[in-house]
Amino acid sequence: MKTFISTLIFFFVLASFAVDKNMVITHSQTIDSLGACQGISNQNGRIFLYGDREVGMIREYKLEGDSLKYLNKEMRLTLNDTDVINHPTGIAYQDKMPVFIGNSIRLNKEGNLWRAVIYCIDWDGLQRTNKLDGNLINTIDDDACVQGTRPEYVQYKNKWYVATADYGEKANEVRLYNSSALKYAKRTTEKGVLFKKFNCTPWVQNLFGMADKGILVLIQNKTAGKQWRFTYVDLEKSIESGKEFIIKVVDINERVDELEGFAFLNNKYTSGIAVTSSQKNNVNLMGVNW
């Protein structure tokens, strides 16, 4: 009976997504001083954009109407005035959990060799001092990755894990790490860090977990560094099968720039913000009608 009910619930969710009217850009704006924007983190209504200006940095904004307003709050990801997290590619934040920031470091001009690093951060301290000095808890080599790292908290069976994904053309995976083990590890290949993983499609720039629906959104490019794609996967079925279980794919065909990140703005998942690395129209409010 339990299995039958679970199946009915899954097909109800699937059906509700099948009749959607798509994801639509409702307003675009240009936000400067980010360098190339690399992502967005919505923390209970507090909105942070992060980028790779002359140093890696994070800025805080609030939504006013259909636009973001800068709150004159900037955190520079430097240690002893030296750029440390130069290319931030993810902020894993969840109440009362360790905070992690990813850094994907290109090692050659072709972009096929990368070093991926995850930093455990004193997030409250970083916001007080606006720099990493005294706030860098641990540095972890994400050597389990294929290409780059982009940490984000996701919920699986009522427990929070730090998920990340690869950006390469092949052999891409979504991996779930135990946050308590990750906090103290030196490498993600250490015993006890990796919890589960599954194969996924290429060019994942970032992740967003819809915890109450059991859905993970892969925020992707359609080709290397170009165009927008959102792939909704059933997290539990993906983990069980070892391969992404796709519910639906949404392409935003009118945009050919490099989608970098996306976050929903409310728990009804009716609006969100997508960010790109472009110098113009890099912040985009989106309406979502399921």
Give the length of the chain: 290
Q: Encode pLDDT of 223-253 as tens digits.
A: 999 999 999 999 999 999 999 999 999 999 9
- Three-class SS state of 280: coil
- Predicted structure pTM score: 0.91
**Is 253 within the bounds of a domain?**
yes
Which residues, at least 6 apart from 66, have a Cβ–Cβ distance to it below 8 Å?
A: 26, 27, 285
247-256, Cβ contacts within 8 angstroms, sequence gap of 24 or more: 247/13, 247/14, 247/17, 247/215, 248/17, 248/18, 248/20, 250/22, 250/23, 251/222, 251/227, 252/23, 252/25, 252/227, 252/228, 253/227, 254/25, 255/25, 255/227, 255/228, 256/226, 256/227
Residue 153 contacts residue 209 (beta carbons within 8 Å): yes
Domain count, the chain: 1
pLDDT bin (cut points 50, 70, 90) of residue 12 is very low
Asked whether residue 86 is domain-assigned, the answer is yes
| 83 in Cβ contact with 56 (< 8 Å) | yes
Residue 145 DSSP one-character state: -
Domain that holds residue 39: 21-288
**Within a domain: 168:** yes
Residue 203 lies in a domain: yes
Residue 56 in any domain: the answer is: yes
Quick one: pLDDT band at residue 168, thresholds 50, 70, 90? confident
pLDDT level of residue 67 (50, 70, 90 thresholds): very high
The number of C-alpha atoms within 13 Å of 9 and in the hemisphere containing its C-beta is: 11
How high does pLDDT run on average in the chain?
A: 92
Asked whether residue 91 is domain-assigned, the answer is: yes
The pLDDT score that the predictor gives to residue 15 is: 45
Tens of pLDDT along 16-28?
A: 444 344 899 999 9
Is the predicted pLDDT of residue 4 greater than 60, yes or no? Answer: no
| More reliable by pLDDT, 167 or 5 | 167
The values of phi and psi at residue 195, to 5°, are -95, -60
- The pLDDT value recorded for residue 72 is 98
In a domain, 6, yes or no: no
Say what the pLDDT of residue 1 is.
53
- 13 lies in a domain? no
Q: What CATH number corresponds to the domain at position 228?
A: 2.120.10.30
